[in-house]
Amino acid sequence: ESDETNLLFSVIGKALGARKTIAVVRRKIYMKLDNYMSVDSIVNPNSALASVILRYARYPTGSGVLSIIEKIDAEMLEVAIPERSPAVGRTIMSLGLPKGILVALIVRRGEVFVPVGATVLQAGDKVIVFATSDLMPEAVEYLGVN
């Protein structure tokens, strides 16, 4: 239950040879200490739970991971392009995505690649989208995901 104890045990674990250490903390003040301590990651369970709840509230179907990137007020979302999406068969540049929405990666039949404007979206593509928080609902709409 102690943030300080969790951090200390993670540092001790790393010193004893653990390949990966993760400290669970609840206070925001400790979230950036991984830059200064030998801890691989610091996780706030409240933020993680809020991210999961937000994902299901905003995108109840067709969505994968939603990450909140607080420092730049952005979100990352993994969605599968449905067969009936208006984006199927169109190039990314022809979608007319507004500034602030970026299709960063596509997973197609097990292959992962960085798309370019001329990349044609296909049904079943898993797409990783970055967008500002206010534009993410619009990005989902452009891709035809409910």
How confident is the model at residue 67, as a pLDDT? Answer: 57
How confident is the model at residue 28, as a pLDDT? Answer: 80
Residues 37 and 98 in one domain: no
The residue count of the chain comes to: 146
pLDDT: which is higher, 142 or 55 = 142
Q: Is 105's pLDDT higher than 70?
A: yes
pLDDT: which is higher, 28 or 124 = 124
Query: Based on the structure, what is the number of domains in the chain?
Result: 2
Q: Looking at the domain assignment, is residue 55 inside a domain?
A: no
Structure tokens at 127: 């797409």
**With helix as H, strand as E and coil as C, how does the chain read?**
CCHHHHHHHHHHHHHCCCCCCEEECCCHHHCCHHHCCCCCEEECHHHHHHHHHHHHHHCCCCEEEEEEEHHHCEEEEEEECCCCCCCCCCECHHHCCCCCEEEEEEEECCEEECCCCCCECCCCCEEEEEEECCCHHHHHHHCCCC
Q: Looking at the domain assignment, is residue 18 inside a domain?
A: yes
How confident is the model at residue 122, as a pLDDT? Answer: 96
Q: How confident is the model at residue 121 (pLDDT cuts 50, 70, 90)?
A: very high
Q: What percent of the chain has pLDDT over 70?
A: 80
Residues 29 and 90 in one domain: no
Range among 37-41, 75-79, 94-98 rated most confident: 94-98
Instruction: Tell me the pLDDT tens digit for each residue of 41-64.
Output: 788 777 765 665 566 566 555 455
pLDDT: which is higher, 27 or 125 = 125
What's the Rg (C-alpha) of the chain? 19
Q: Looking at the domain assignment, is residue 53 inside a domain?
A: no
How confident is the model at residue 130, as a pLDDT? Answer: 85
Residues 74 and 137 in one domain: yes
* Cα dist from 20 to 4, 17, 41, 43, 139, whole Å: 18, 9, 8, 13, 35
User: Over the chain, what is the mean pLDDT?
Assistant: 82
How confident is the model at residue 42, as a pLDDT? Answer: 81
Residues 35 and 86 in one domain: no
How confident is the model at residue 21, as a pLDDT? Answer: 83
Residue 78: phi and psi, rounded to 5, are -105, 120
Give the range of the structural domain holding residue 18, as residue numbers without chain letter. 3-43
